[in-house]
Amino acid sequence: MRGGGNPFNMWGDYANPAWVRHDPVVNAGKLRGKTIFLSAGSGLPGPIDGGPLEILGGMFGGNFVEAYSLACTRAMSHRLHSLGIAHRFQTRSDGTHSWGLFSADMRASWPMIARAIGAR
């Protein structure tokens, strides 16, 4: 793994009960009453990613990361729906794991965040 990190640095091996205690899908019910904004791109590079270098970078890793993120985010949205927990889930037809996508989703989420924290 990059930088010497690996998933076992978090809560040990996958048999460790700490993994379940920290699983957001398993613990989704604890989010009731919170403001929740979920978003993910498709993993396909596009204009939202930014300039040519960012699009090129997204094609070599960022596309897989974002496609997997979309699958995980969709699972979380389904779980919240099943629990009757209100949330906003925004998907995009393009977008790799890039700063352009992050920036667009941050702007899209800001009205919800601002209301939740009392900012203007």
Note whether 91 and 38 are within 8 A (CB): no
Q: Is residue 20 part of a domain?
A: no
End-to-end CA distance of the chain: 41
**CA dist 74 → 14, 50, 83, 87 (Å):** 22, 24, 14, 12
Q: Which domain holds residue 58?
A: 25-117
Both structure tokens of 42: 């498709």
Neighbours of 69 (CB within 10 A): 19
Q: Is the dihedral of CA 24, 77, 38, 112 positive or negative?
A: negative
Tens of pLDDT, residues 51-66: 777 767 667 778 889 9
d(CA 42, CA 70): 7
- For residue 2, is it within any domain? no
For residue range 26-84, list pLDDT tens digits in order: 999 999 999 999 999 999 988 998 877 776 766 777 888 999 999 999 999 999 999 99
Tell whether 5 is covered by a domain: no
Query: How many domains is the chain partitioned into structurally?
Result: 1
- Our separate counts of H helices and E strands in the chain read 5, 2
